[in-house]
Amino acid sequence: MFSWKTWLSPYRGMPKEIYVIFAARIINALGCFVMPLLTIILTQNIGLSKQMTGLYISISGLLNVPSALIGGKLADTIGRKKVIMLFDGLAIAFYLAAGLLRPSLLMAYILMLAGACMVTAGPAHDALIADLTTAQTRNGAYALSYMGWNIGFAIGPIMGGILYRNHLPLLFIGDALTALVALVLIARFIPETLWKTKITVTAPSRLEKGEKGSIMAVLLKRPILLYFSVIMMGYNFAYAQWAFMLPMQTIQDFPGFGAEYFGYIAAFNGFVVMLFTPIVLKITEGISNMRRMVCGGIFYALGFGMLGIFHALALIFLCAFVYTLGEIILAISVTPFVVSHTPISHRGRMNSLIPMIFRLGDTLGPVVMGYILTYISIESGWRLIGISALFFTVLMFGLEKWEGRQHIQVSKDARV
């Protein structure tokens, strides 16, 4: 029987700092009020047209590219904690400033800057977890961080919606205050870990030993990360459709109730993540990250592909359950895989560059499928997404085999 003790076992035995990060993630996500409502704020409160709103959101996305690269570089040079304290602190200040302003273009610019600051601190957060864990505890640590965010995010946007209706300034102030509490926890209980990257003998594998040189020079020595990034871009292209095509399908299949039903499906996604993340982590113990990501791709292909066949609401929830299992598997496997192939000297930079590549799938997904859907039905679109996910799953399986042959060759060379 799957007891509470078994349920919690993947999260045991980690440094206390990981549990502090888990608590900070919950608190931060509890106050994630602004970003989910950004489109509504820009259109309804500031008064931008849909076209201008799209432009502002696209510009915000473009700002994330240099922000992530700068954050990664700074995390590897001045330190993880310093980057977090500086840029998360600036984001808090920007949110507080937005709470004191009337809705205006100035508010929009300030929100864009706040988002960019949060993105700049992102690679430092990921590198911090890598520094604090070993190869044995890393999967559990990233899974715990992922689950912590989802626990808070399941509640935060609901609270944000309540505040938006009657107390718009409190939306920004509340976001700032919860982020401040999370930042205080990190400031008080998490030490700087950059010094660990200078001790190359502690690297658990040859791929994690510190190196000198630029991030591109390091990446070219590890082509597997480039191939992996392209495959993950394909996975993300498929996953982006649940927030793009699925609302269209529910509106088409359930006139008058489509938006409400999509909200239920989105909430169900969060519930499955919270409940099944530790179960999936426990079941997949001992399985390599690469093999897990192959399984995640299979769940994507099945879950999204079946949406092109099923129309009953209960069966759509079944599809959501299947693709959410794929989401969980990938969430607990992707970052540990990248970290295990990254020199400890370049963790911050790699944790900004690699995700930036495969997140292109999130950006391209709605644009490309929006164009394709002018020629085919939503049902055909889902079947196409299922086939696409299966194609990239096969590529991931091939990459797993290629990596296996590389390990064998390295072992032979070492014996010689």
For residue 158, is it within any domain?
yes
Asked, for residue 50, whether it belongs to a domain, the answer is: yes
With respect to residue 348, please indicate whether it lies within any of the assigned structural domains: yes
Whether residue 247 sits in one domain with residue 136:
no
Domain that holds residue 126: 16-191
Q: Which residues contact 214 (CB under 8 A, 6 or more apart)?
A: none
Q: What pLDDT is attached to residue 31?
A: 79
Whether 197 is covered by a domain: the verdict is no
Long-range contact set of residues 260-267: C-beta below 8 Å, sequence gap at least 24: 261/313, 265/316, 265/317, 265/320, 267/154
**Would you say 290 and 403 are in contact if contact means Cβ atoms under 8 Å apart?**
yes
Amino acid at 57: I
Structure tokens at 372: 């394709």
* pLDDT score of 334 more than 70: yes
Give yes or no: residues 166 and 248 share one domain.
no
* Of 50-54, 284-288, 346-350, minimum mean pLDDT range: 50-54
Residue 51 has pLDDT above 70, yes or no: no
pLDDT at residue 136 in the model: 77
Number of domains in the chain: 2
pLDDT at site 208: 65
Query: Is there a single domain that holds both residue 370 and residue 231?
Result: yes
Residue 225 pLDDT more than 80?
yes
**Global pTM exceeds 0.85:** no
pLDDT score of 410 more than 60: no
Cβ atoms of residues 2 and 279 within 8 Å: yes
218 and 184 within one domain: no
Q: Is the dihedral of CA 113, 118, 123, 128 positive or negative?
A: positive
pLDDT above 70 for 308: yes
More confident residue, 192 or 48: 192
Question: Tens of pLDDT along 118-176?
Answer: 989 988 998 899 888 887 788 788 888 888 888 887 777 677 777 877 888 888 999 99
- Check whether residue 142 and residue 275 sit in a common domain: no
Residues 6+ apart with CB under 8 A from 297: 235, 326, 389, 390, 392, 393, 396
Task: Give per-residue pLDDT as tens, 90-125.
Answer: 999 999 999 999 888 899 899 989 989 998 998 899
Q: Is the pLDDT of residue 55 over 80?
A: no
| Model pLDDT, residue 389 | 97
pLDDT, average across residues 2-12: 66
Same domain? 390 vs 272 = yes
Whether residue 201 has pLDDT greater than 60 = no
Q: Which residue has the higher pLDDT, 360 or 293?
A: 293
- Do residues 119 and 25 both lie within one domain? yes
| pLDDT score recorded for residue 414 | 47
Report CA Rg, the chain: 21
Nearest to 352 by CA among 77, 65, 143: 65
Q: Are 398 and 256 within one domain?
A: yes
Same domain as 396, residue 278 = yes
CATH code for the domain of 33: 1.20.1250.20
Which residue among 191, 222, 239 closes a domain?
191
Chain center to CA of 11: 20
Residue 80 near residue 193, CB atoms below 8 Å: yes
Cα 335 from Cα 387, distance rounded (Å): 25
Q: Inform me whether the pLDDT recorded for 325 exceeds 90.
A: yes
Q: Do 229 and 307 reside in the same domain of the chain?
A: yes
Mean pLDDT of the chain: 84
> Does residue 239 share a domain with residue 172?
no
Same-domain status, 155 and 248: no
Q: In this structure, are residues 274 and 154 in contact, taking their beta carbons and an 8 Å threshold?
A: yes
- Please compute the mean of the pLDDT values over residues 221-245 and round it to a whole number: 90
In a domain, 2, yes or no: no
Question: In this structure, is residue 6 part of a structural domain?
Answer: no
**11 domain-assigned:** no
pLDDT at 248: 80
pLDDT in tens, 343-379: 887 888 887 888 888 878 877 787 788 888 889 998 9
Q: Report whether 311 contacts 261 (CB < 8 A).
A: no
Within the chain, how many helices (H) and strands (E) appear? 19, 0
φ, ψ of residue 162 in degrees (nearest 5): -65, -45
The proportion of the chain whose per-residue pLDDT surpasses 90, expressed as a percent, equals 36
Residue keyed to tokens 């009657």: 166
The answer on pLDDT for 388 being more than 80 is yes
**Which residue has tokens 């998360």?**
88
Q: Please report whether residue 278 resides in a domain.
A: yes
